[in-house]
Structure 1
Amino acid sequence: DPLLPFYTEYGSFYTNSITEWSAVLPEENKGQIFDICTKNNYESVAIIPIRAMDKLIGIIFIASKKKNMMPLDMVLTLEKMATYLGVAIERVQFREALFNEKELLDITLRSIGDAVISTDSDGNIVLINNVAEKLTGWIEKEAIGRHINEVFHIINEETRQQVSNPVEKVLATGQVHGLANHTVLISRDGTEYSIADSGAPIYSRDGRIVGVVIVFRDITKELKTEAELRRISQLESLGILAGGIAHDFNNFLTAILGNLSLARLYKNEEEKDKRLEEAEKATLMATELTQQLLTFSKGGLPIKKLSSIKNLLKDSTEFALRGSNVKPIFSIQDDLWNAEIDEAQINRVIQNMVINADQAMPEGGAIWIDAKNEYIQEDQIYSLSAGRYIKITIKDSGIGIRREHLPKIFDPYFTTKQKGSGLGLTICYSIIKNHGGYIDVESEIGVGTTFTIYLPAGSESISHEKLELDLELTKGKGKILVMDDEDFVRGLMEEMLKNTGYEVFTAKDGLDAINLYKQEMELNRSFDAVILDLTVPGGMGGKEAIQKLLEIDPNVKAIVYSGYSNDAIMSNYKDFGFKAVIVKPFRIKELSEVLYKVINDIIE
């Protein structure tokens, strides 16, 4: 207190006689200073505080055994010195704190499992940790100062095109940005890593963006594991379904063979036609089952198209419950939105859920499948952005799942079944996640289990054409070349085409077809159309044959047909030079219509 004797305005204490000072000081206030001075026979004493940012961090203590050795001007000089000392000590402490913080940051960055790269506001690298060094192939001293695009080279795995760097997006928007799926980092030595990453802005104290930090990790092994899990889960589910499928195929074959046998016995044309019609219906039902099997067996990342969830739900559920004593009960909104999905993968999810529900009710029961449109608000459901969604619930009245098992239900290899790998729900989770959706489960022992799925809705409608039995043929004229490796298929195609008005030539593989086409063309007896089987084991198939035929005749009118409806050529046939496509099996009506349109150039 500067108003009291022996104190300066700065707060320093000084006296030129401890004896005089102690004489006016109450006994209870003498304290430690008096004790020190009495013990050492000090008479002149000065204590000057050293402050930093108004905080006491030390003192200057000067003492003499002589009196009158502490004049005020000396004390004031010492106070100035204390001010300089405070600033100096503060700087030293700040440097030490900064050094310790930097050392801690370096240790942290080198200890974490993720790769980290920081840049300045121009995108030039200022920091790179050891994990990032390993993945990019650039060591720190070489990377510092280089632009991020030189070191962090990323492409789209499917298109092989360069992906825009997250640093640019963050600097432009000031927001956190992540990489899209299928992003690959190409290391300095050419090694490729599938990565997941995010970039975030670095702000200064005044709120300016002064740089960007990118955090990324190698997910190559994770993606390979997911792919393997999908394959294993697919085989497991197919094994469960095999009994029901065999049962249904035998029923269809029984209907086909039985009706054909009866048709051969009947002499009445009306009775013959009726039996043949029944055989054709059974064949179409078997065809539908085959298509579902092909869809189910298809794997890989989502290949999306606008699809009807309503139809998929019913078809997938009924397919999974073939031969089961469990009954499906549907409650589906009439105007249910469509969705951009990979039908095969969502089909797999639904079937897996239904199979699990079926297995939870060995004595039989019911499965309730509900679907409705729902608007989701921001932050309403974890990981879902605001928008339109289709909510699907699959509920059973089975044995249920224990509460302690629910958090692990989507973990790989976790299962409560005596049989099974515990991969099915992991695959379901992965598929829904890759579709931008959400999946959750609720269960109670003895009551049952409910799975809830949210899928983003599409914005377009789908037109559907109902397939009906129609014996009316579209007849035409022309010279047709059919290539197929199976003798009985070639014979059948020849009879079908002759009955619709065409002259038919056949070849057993692509090479024979090319030679025959070339021969007839040189004799000015060109074919009006060519029908090529896509796959010929051990020989040239339709894919290779069409390229050779286009070289011979750029105007060739070729149709591709196959039982492999999931082959890329079947869905993108025009890109390979074909005019149309037919999926096996097919009826003579479908064949005649497609051929007529191709020959007469009325294909859409």
Structure 2
Amino acid sequence: MSMIQNEFVHPQNQKIPNLFLSNFEVADSKITALIEMIDAGIVIVDNNNIIQFANEKFFSIVNFSLNDIVGQTLENLLFRDQKSISVGNRSLKRGRTICQECRIRKKNDGSVVVRLSAAPVKNSGEVVGSIWLFTDIAREKKFENALIETKNFAQNIIDSSLDMIIAVSMDRIIIEFNRAAENNFGYKRDEVIGKHVRLLYADSDNSSLVVNALKDDGRWEGEVRNKRKNGETFFSYLSASLMCNEMGFPVGIMGVSRDITERKTFEDGINKLSNAIEHLADCVFITDDKGIIEYVNPAFTELTGYTRNEAIGNTPRIVKSGKHSAEFYRTMWHTIASGLVFRAEVVNKKKDESLYYEEITISPIKDSKNEVRYFVSTGRNITERKIAEKKLQEYARILDLTDDAIIMTDLNRKIIFWNQGAEKMYGWTSVEVVGRKVDDFLKIQHDPNFKNARQTIKNRKCWQGELNQYNKSGQAIVVSSRWSLLHDDRGEQVSLLIINTDISARKRMEIQLARSRKMESLGSMASGIAHDLNNIFTPILVSIESLKIENQNAPVYAGLQKLESYVSKGVDLVKQIISFTTTGSEHRELKKIYLHEFCDATHDMIAETISKSVMIHVNIPKDIPPILANPSQLFQVMMNLCVNARDAMPQGGVLTVNAAKTFVEGNYSLPGFEVKEGEYINISVSDTGVGISEEKLDKIFDPFFTTKPKGTGLGLSTVFSIVRRHNGFIQVNSKVNAGTTFNVFLPTIQTLASVSKEIELVQ
């Protein structure tokens, strides 16, 4: 190559001085012409990166003029990022080439994207500069961006599809997987691209089946069973077709599928429902909105005797028995035509004219406009049940004739039958108790005999004994109970029969009889002892009185007075015993007593016996009706109860006396008392003392029973005896350390007149 001259003539005949150095080897004019023909900007720089040569294409790319580039370095002229060009220069000086895309500066602060290639220029093996090629790739980039936009647009269309779109290569490797596919399968796109499509099938041979079918026809449609990432399977309807290139050769398969699991489930449900209706034991028929039969199931034909062909096209009148009124049918049609369900028990007629009972339900079926289009009738043959019910009603009438409570329960003790005897005994009607557990409301679960009954019935199939129960009003009753297990035709236990006889009155009579006998024997003994003691005490008192007269000034006089006091207490005790045992004429001296006046008159006498540490509250309304009572005995009752209350409060407390009118419903018995219905005056005496334990409550009215060291045990027994003789009764409520309340109920004059014919009113 010849030496290059120091002055280069530009194709536009412009001279660039000093743009070439003598050590650049440039070929002849043919090479120069070739450089100008290249569709790329060419720039030659020296080792200082000062531009030595630029072809016409370069000027057209960057819009710089000759004057703009004279003496300029490449980096100052074209590159805003000095670091990247510095790295490239270092590579060139080491003899390496560079190639990259970058953005270079254009005149007037513009820029252009170019593909840059650079190589070192050597002279005798030494790098003396470099040659740079700048290819304008703006159109290429624009085309590339258009392709990307087109691809993105197509991808957006694919991803916006509600159907699953999956593309595979001919060897069934997944190359496309849209968003709907992601949502259905549970895989992300990156997880499946490049994987074999068998990953998505529950049946491994499905993909082969599709490919083989495509080879024959180029298209395939059908149902396939897919598998999600979590292992769940689902059904989809797949439409697949071959993808071919410009020459018509297949390059892949495009599949569009839709999840049809719900549809399959619905279809399966319809099939199952249809199959179930066909095999249903109940009769089913469907009519149009005019009542024309369109479908009957086999159970209908079997029960009625009409064939399917005979029934379809007819109306339900074919089974009409004539046993129902026109009003019944008007009500039925009005109900179902209004869109409501109609239920009833009907008597229908078979083809052979025989009658049968049926429990029917007619349901209207509406269309999307909420208009009735069809009616579905289901019917259950209840003929045998109706016959059985009739027999049961006959049995029930027989069972209702007895006063015993006859109860039938299932094996969980839930009541299924409750006769009128049970209603009378317990107070609950059959409607109130059927379906409830018998032990829940009779409160028998705490009775030891109940637990014994449950255990015995399991082993022996029957049990008999006494149970303590409660009626609806909360009153305790005692029943003699007989339990028997009932079995069906197969010998299986199905129910429990309980027959209860109320023996409460008998038990009370037994207790009262035992108490009366005890009281009678105690009374006889006490009366005999009292009279004997009275015969002893009388001469003693006479003798003491004589000795006192003779020894008024003697030292023994004080001792005689003390002795007289002791004997007098003995005489008082004898009088109390005689009062307890007597039912004589004293009781018959009854007077009309107004309690508020009576309490005012006796208040001071009672208060004198009460400690000052005990506060006394008396509340006796003036409008309380009068009672008939013996004043001295009533005073004895009040005194004994108040003294008992005082003794229960050794540290002091509150004694309260109240009175109120009350009405007692029904006749019943309490231990020692026969309570009659009517109006009573309730006199309550309450204390805040130590209370009475539960085990002692049953004994407090027994003669000579006492918990006090110096007590006689006759106070409360005397109260008991007096109240009973006045046709009243007593109730006691007490709790240890929470006080005691004695409620004395005495009949008003009106009530007393109805229960006693032997009262002598002393004016």
TM-score by length of 1: 0.32
1 or 2, which has the higher strand percentage?
2
Higher relative contact order (CA 8 A, sep 6+): 1
| Larger Rg, first or second structure (1 or 2) | 2
TM-score by length of 2: 0.27
